[in-house]
Structure 1
Amino acid sequence: MSIDKGCWAPARQVASPNHNARPEGEVSALVLHSISLPPGVFSGDAIERLFTNRLDPEAHPYFARIAGLRVSAHLLIRRNGEAVQFVPFEQRAWHAGRSRWFDGVTWREALNDFAIGIELEGDEQRPYRDAQYATLAHVVRDLLAHYPALTAERITSHARIAPLRKTDPGPAFDWAYFRQCLHREM
């Protein structure tokens, strides 16, 4: 099994302080996000610095606006397909913010309580890379096998859970292609 003690074995581990215990310990949804820091830049260590509270507000004008944020994700998938894990899956990462989602039965709020957050390095205009889809499909396959309450139908986007605040991963994310990749992994 590729998941042990909440960590995905293929990922490079970088601990974020921005997490806490899940209220019920439940993992039953997955939220896909996109991030680039500064916006539109796909290199460097700014994302890791943001998620570990080490972002230098003087390093770029945009950073001054966000340096005080205390956010994280469980996993980041870089443009080259590298996976970086910040928070064990059993813990609550701070990725969804104010959120609401219809899970097929009822409306649920506060998705951080029960969702895994995966960030894709990218933006909403430029296509994501094949290496990212391959890594995403691989980790999702392992997550589906490890967490019985998590199903492929319970994978959603930040845009769907916070539609008045967020639009990521945006139209550049190819859901059909992701599903094909996931199907090949299964």
Structure 2
Amino acid sequence: MATSPYMIDVTGDSFDHAVLARSREVPVLVDFWAAWCAPCRSLMPILAKLAEEYQGRFFLAKVNSDEQQGLAARFGVRSLPTVKLFKQGAEVAQFVGAQPERMIRELLDAHIDRPSDALLRAALDQEATGDRDGALARLKGAHETDPKNDRLTAHLGRLLCEQGRVTDSEAILKGLSPRALGDAEIGAI
């Protein structure tokens, strides 16, 4: 496989820097694999393709579990392939076994910042300073450009509801993805 600026082989010695420290800047997807594992061999091309396609919006770290048994034990790997996603120095998601590309995309997209996330943060800052109407206007504009951003949709629905616009809130919240309904942050909203 060709080398990529978005992938690296990781060892026990390099894990903390290559995964945990780096995950404070960009999510890191860690693939625990072994050469003898057929599902691992079918999964790796999908992960490599996504790493290239996402162009640095996440980083792919590969751990050969046969050679790095201590690292696999440290993270409770019992079956291969096991893939864990780290963000801000902590594990935030995982899956075991070869998965379809669509499912992996959904997992990544749930944890990778989107351009509309900056607008969401600005709107929440605006709300925190007391400008709820300005925050609502900013959220509406952001929602028009990215209606699939579930966190943005949830906050827009919340603000509409808090302003007594329950029907509008319900209409917006119907746009949440099924995955969003199981998300703790969105559930709290």
> With structure 1 as the length reference, what TM-score do the two structures score?
0.27
More strand by share: 1
Structure showing greater relative contact order (alpha-carbon pairs closer than 8 Å, 6 or more residues apart):
1
Structure of greater Rg: 2
More helix by share: 2
